Structure 1
Amino acid sequence: MDWLNIFGLEMLVLLLIPNIKYALQNKHPENKSTNMFMNVMEQIGRYACMLFMIIILDFAVTGFLSGFVTAVYFLGNLVLMVSYWVIWFLYSEKQECWKQMVLAIIPTALFLLSGITMLNIPLIVSAVIFGAGHIYVTQRA
């Protein structure tokens, strides 16, 4: 089971829970971004990040270089996840532009942190693609 990242799966599920709740409450949210390239880029990056958070490709992932880096991975992910849930709670109380942007930046940071600390090249590349697309699309909302 060296190919499966259970902690990455747990982080992904925790990221998705508030998004699923939002989607159920807002059946047809409007995407105000008319840039099809950026919309597609966001989706490709999103699903690639989801895949590479869970699946570890031996040939493309070096792994943690030290115990300190491992601690940064776990603690950093936990801090980002708690921050994400707090901002989601605040956003559900009052929707504001700055909260939307923070909700776009935190997952990008989480994916990048995970990729960099694990030296997971596919996740790093996917996170950059996702971040550029997601932040652009969110900024247009």
Structure 2
Amino acid sequence: MNITVIGGSDGPVSILIAENNKASWINLFGLVIVILMLLPNIIYAVKFHGIENKCKNKVMSWIEQIGRYSSMFLIIFNIGLAEFGFPSAEAYITYFVGNTVFLILYWCIWILYFHKITFWKSMTLAVIPTAIFLLSGITSRHYLLVISAVAFGIGHIYVTHQNAR
């Protein structure tokens, strides 16, 4: 039996993480997170296709898109650059529980949003994915993900604000 210690974790948490993730180049938890974040967005795109983007600031739109796709890529794929892993069992628990709570909240707000679109729901739906990417990057000491999440947050919150006014 080959047991790998991940990111300085010791004891049962490193064994759990190594056995479940097989210490591979793909983060299955990150993949699930991205899929769960994309599903309501796909439903929205189908239901409300053709809605005009009111944000005319091309730089902020580019920052949003670059931040979005790089965050989704980095949360899923371990590319071996600036990735250090979970430093402790507490960091792993914070990552898992925090992202679970954020995803449940995200889906609940989407359900409310589909019933009635309001400014606060739009802004909350812009902030939660940013928080998920930030939490994932900070708890796993994945600094490129943190940088991408900050860029995404700045762009996404700005663009959403322009569209929700």
Q: Shorter-chain-normalised TM-score: which range?
A: over 0.9
Matching residue within 19, 36, 55 for 2:77: 55
Count of residues in correspondence between the two structures: 141
1:46 corresponds in structure 2 to 68
Alignment of 1:77-88 (within 5 A): 77-88=99-110
Asked if residue 133 in structure 1 is aligned to residue 151 in structure 2, the reply is no
Shift of 1:17: 0.2
Could you list the runs of 5+ residues in structure 1 that have no partner in the other structure?
none
Shift of 1:29: 1.7
Any idea what the Cα deviations from partners look like across 1:68-111, whole Å, max 9, x if unmatched? Answer: 11000000000000000000000001100000000000000000
Shift of 1:12: 0.3
Shift of 1:7: 0.3
1:20 corresponds in structure 2 to 42
Matching residue within 115, 120, 138 for 2:142: 120
Higher relative contact order at CA 8 Å, sep ≥6: structure 1 or structure 2?
Answer: 1
Matching residue within 114, 118, 122 for 1:96: 118
Amino acid at match of 1:136: Y
Amino acid at match of 1:54: I
TM-score (normalizing by structure 2): 0.84
Matching residue within 65, 75, 92 for 1:70: 92
2:16 corresponds in structure 1 to none
Any idea what the Cα deviations from partners look like across 1:35-94, whole Å, max 9, x if unmatched? Answer: 000001100000001100101122310100000110000000000000000000000011
Could you list the runs of 5+ residues in structure 2 that have no partner in the other structure?
1-22
Distance between the aligned counterparts of 2:63 and 2:81, measured in 1?
A: 25
1:11 corresponds in structure 2 to 33
Shift of 1:133: 0.1
TM-score (normalizing by structure 1): 0.98
Distance between the aligned counterparts of 1:116 and 1:50, measured in 2?
A: 15
Query: Match of 2:36, SS?
Result: helix
Give me the CA root mean square deviation: 0.8
Shift of 1:121: 1.1
Aligned-pair identity in percent equals: 49
Amino acid at match of 1:17: L
